Amino acid sequence: MRSSRSFLYLCFYGFLMFGLLSPNMTSANPNFSRKYKLDCATCHTVPPQLTRTGIEFRRLGYRFANELKTEKTKPASQSQQPFPQAAEAMKTMDKANCMSCHSIQPGGGGNPLQGVGSKMSREQLATFIGSEDHPGAESAQELSPQDYDLVVLFLASLTEVPEGAVDPWSHDMSDVISVRGRTRYAVQKVTDHDTRNEFRYNDMTFYYLGPVNQYLTIFFETEFEEGFEPNVLAQGTLIYGTPNGYGYIKVGHIRFVRQGVGSLDRPKTLSTDIAVSSKAHLFGLTTDQRGIELGYGFNKNRTLVRVFVTNGIDDRGNGRPVGQQDLNSQKDFSAMVENLFGQKTNTSLAAVYYHGTAPSSSGDISFDRLGLFGTLALNNQQNFEDIRLNGGVLLGYDDVPGGDPNDQNIGFLVGLDKRLGNQFYVSTRYDQFRPTNRVSDNTTHAYTVGMMKQVLTFLRLSAEYQLFQRPGDIDDNRITTEFFVFF
């Protein structure tokens, strides 16, 4: 036992030292990083979890705010005259962090500003830069009137479109294709059982996602797990409006978790909390389904209201059984309200309600879920997320044929993430789940601590320890390390 435990500690701390000492190298970027020439940290705290910018980008169908409203046509190039104060203007823009999202010279990182003066007049630029439609408006509003005017005049002077400029909607295929691969080494020790350890092939996933034009976004995900059986997720979204007020309709496979905010987004840890992922009477909130989603975003893209109509789940709890029709003709209905607070942090609040039915041999099971999830995020002076506090509760009320009505279940979670360095975090979480109140002492408690670091732009390393205390005085100890490649 002592040698086994020593081996576990060696694996864990060995990984930690590797993450601390590894150089921050770059040789391959994921698709949106390639497309916009931006660092992954623009949209991710540490992949796959999203920053505030990343959430707003996903909400708009994988577009930045200016892309949702602007018609994408190639501007006519005009003769460009030298601007005497160009160096001073670029220095001012750099100080205001404009260059973290934009580039002036051809081939630079971020959205290019070459030729912007041929698309917008000086008056239009002066209005847009400080408006709600501009994602960087808060930085521009902090400029002095003199510096603001200097930047506007400089941008208005950029009238020459670089050679080879094309319609921005005519993307290179690499802009929409991405690949993910994950392999793990896992150790597990359960009370009264031998210790197990093994290498695992977790999955290889291919993505084709992004906007087709100003209004249409497609999302295709094909995941090959152990055995290479494909698991396909497909969505199509039509979106219309401005960042301050837009609506969308999404059809295909629907997700209630991993496309939201806070604990309803993807976590930093390898595992998802059991409060959300566990099932009671066949239903779990993380189960993907087939259906339609309607959404309306407003309040400067802070508030999003989502309504879902789905087929529901089958008699095995599957939300999208391959090659099978919907066995239960009744539809499930759910609604979710998300709100982001402030301008730059991931502080958020989300409320969710779900009502549905599932077929069983003795009749339909009826279930309702009510959830409230909150996140308090604090950024450091460089505007990177420094501390995140997560909390949430999910209540269930189920009517089971032949049983007592209103059988109750409850899940609860609380967690803390702390930044240790550039895209390097430690995460701790406590969560619990009770599937029914008909049986005493049936609550599972879970304790999780993990470390994760994006070592290269295409590589994340993670290590996680979990202790599950299950009914019957059973302890389930798990240590998992993961090698996560994406490009």
Detail the DSSP E strand segments found in 299-347.
Answer: 303-310, 332-340
C-alpha 282: how far from chain center: 26
**Average pLDDT along the chain, 487 residues, taken 10 residues at a time:** 47 46 49 79 89 92 78 51 80 78 66 76 80 69 83 81 55 76 94 92 88 89 80 92 92 91 93 92 90 95 96 84 67 96 92 92 88 95 90 94 82 96 95 91 95 91 96 95 91
Q: Is 364 exposed, middle or buried (0-12, 13-18, 19+ CB in 10 A)?
A: middle
- Which residues, 6 or more positions from 23, have their beta carbon under 8 angstroms from its beta carbon? none
Predicted TM-score (pTM) of this structure: 0.80
The tens digit of pLDDT for each residue in 84-105 reads 888 888 888 877 777 777 777 6
Report CA-CA distances (Å) from 446 to 59, 476, 480: 31, 9, 15
The tens digit of pLDDT for each residue in 220-239 reads 998 888 776 778 889 999 99
Nearest to 222 by CA among 251, 179, 259: 179
- Give the mean pLDDT of the chain: 83
pLDDT score, position 26: 39
Amino acid at 435: P
pLDDT score, position 8: 46
Q: What is the CA radius of gyration of the chain?
A: 25
C-alpha 389: how far from chain center: 17
The tens digit of pLDDT for each residue in 6-41 reads 444 445 445 444 444 444 443 456 778 877 777 888
pLDDT score, position 325: 63
Buried b (16+ CB within 10 A) or exposed e, 236-255: ebebebebbebebebebbbb
Report CA-CA distances (Å) from 219 to 49, 132, 168, 206, 233: 18, 28, 19, 11, 8
The tens digit of pLDDT for each residue in 302-315 reads 999 999 999 998 88
DSSP, collapsed to helix, strand or coil, labels residue 34 as: helix
C-alpha 309/C-alpha 289 separation (Å) is: 10
Identify the bridge partners of residue 251 per DSSP, sorted by sequence position.
236, 292
Paired tokens of 368: 């309702």
pLDDT score, position 338: 97
Residue 172 CB neighbour total at 10 angstroms: 10
- Which residues, 6 or more positions from 229, have their beta carbon under 8 angstroms from its beta carbon? none
pLDDT score, position 108: 56
> CA 339, 343, 345: angle at the middle one, nearest 5?
75
The ranges assigned to domains in the chain are: 35-156, 186-486
H, E, C per residue of 212-257: CCCCEEEEEEEEECCCCCEEEEEEEEEEEEECCEEEEEEEEEECCC
User: Which residue is it, tokens 């994340």?
Assistant: 460
Nearest to 234 by CA among 172, 289, 287, 285: 289
CATH class of 186-486: mainly beta
Helix or strand holding residue 2 (H, E): helix 2-21
DSSP H helix total and E strand total for the chain: 10, 18
Paired tokens of 193: 């059982």
pLDDT score, position 143: 82
Residue 62 DSSP class: S
C-alpha 127/C-alpha 130 separation (Å) is: 6
> Where are the alpha helices (H) located in 141-197, listed in sequence order?
145-156
DSSP 82-147: PPTTHHHHHHHHHHTTGGGTEESSTT-SSEE-TTHHHHS-HHHHHHHHTSTTSTTHHHHTTS-HHH
The tens digit of pLDDT for each residue in 136-178 reads 667 777 788 888 888 888 888 887 766 655 455 555 666 788 8
